[in-house]
A and B are shown apart, each in its own frame.
Chain A
Amino acid sequence: GESVGLHLPTLSVQEGDNSIINCAYSNSASDYFIWYKQESGKGPQFIIDIRSNMDKRQGQRVTVLLNKTVKHLSLQIAATQPGDSAVYFCAESPPQAGTALIFGKGTTLSVSS
């Protein structure tokens, strides 16, 4: 399943499918990006990050892709599991924001078994 192109607030997938969550960031000068997972009633949990000098970074079951030309970030989750159900946020670190992270709109991922 994939939230393609423009940001979609929800994504529903079957257990075992691959998920792709997309994010458009706002500032072309941002040099650092993070994906967070937030479960209901909890704080955001770090998943993976990427610096602007890279276009791809892989973690355990997750991959982040960065396309600076179109200011687009995506999170790929392989073999999605019910425990992956949560809201996913991308965050950028633009120079003029100091050290604050600027969060995008979240995508709610629902995984059915």
Chain B
Amino acid sequence: DTGVSQDPRHKITKRGQNVTFRCDPISEHNRLYWYRQTLGQGPEFLTYFQNEAQLEKSRLLSDRFSAERPKGSFSTLEIQRTEQGDSAMYLCASRPGSSYNEQFFGPGTRLTVL
């Protein structure tokens, strides 16, 4: 499968714990995005990377959230001191630099904070 992959697919954690999610984009895609989706809503943009550079961050990305893409390939999203309000689906998307803005999404990581 050459699509966007995410790991883990599901994560259950207790409030106050730290969690880290991984995204592997399509190999030739230099642009990578993180979105958050809550039940019944469309995805909301969190942050964007072009190669290893984090170029955009949403106001939704509080100080407890950090994202990296150290070698311009896979990316990680870490949430520190999780809160119940962080429970959501975290989606990763990627696209090649040459395309207009068609983004290809991964299956998501479902986070449940107890």
Contacts and interface: CB of A to CB of B under 8 A. Distances in A.
Interface of A: 32, 34, 36, 41-46, 49, 51, 89, 91, 93, 97-106
A106 B40 CA distance: 8
A43 B108 contact: yes
Nearest to B106: A43
A32 B103 CA distance: 12
Given A99-B48, A100-B58, 15 more contacts: A34-B102, A36-B105, A41-B107, A43-B4, A44-B91, A46-B104, A49-B100, A89-B42, A98-B56, A100-B56, A101-B43, A101-B45, A103-B42, A103-B43, A106-B41
A97 B60 CA distance: 14
24 contacts: A32-B101, A36-B105, A43-B93, A43-B105, A43-B106, A43-B108, A44-B91, A44-B105, A46-B102, A46-B103, A49-B100, A51-B100, A89-B43, A91-B42, A98-B55, A98-B56, A99-B56, A100-B48, A101-B45, A101-B101, A101-B103, A102-B45, A105-B42, A106-B42
Nearest to A48: B102
A99 B55 CA distance: 10
Nearest to B92: A43
Contacts, number: 60
A103 B37 CA distance: 10
A103 B43 CA distance: 6
A74 B4 CA distance: 27
Interface residues of B, number: 25
A79 B43 CA distance: 28
A97 B57 CA distance: 10
B48 to A, nearest CB: 6
B33 interface: yes
Interface string B85-100: 0000001010000001
B31 A99 contact: yes
A44 B101 CA distance: 15
B105 to A, nearest CB: 4
Contacts of B55: 98
Identify the interface centre among B44, B102, B110: most chain A CB within 10 Å of its CB: B102
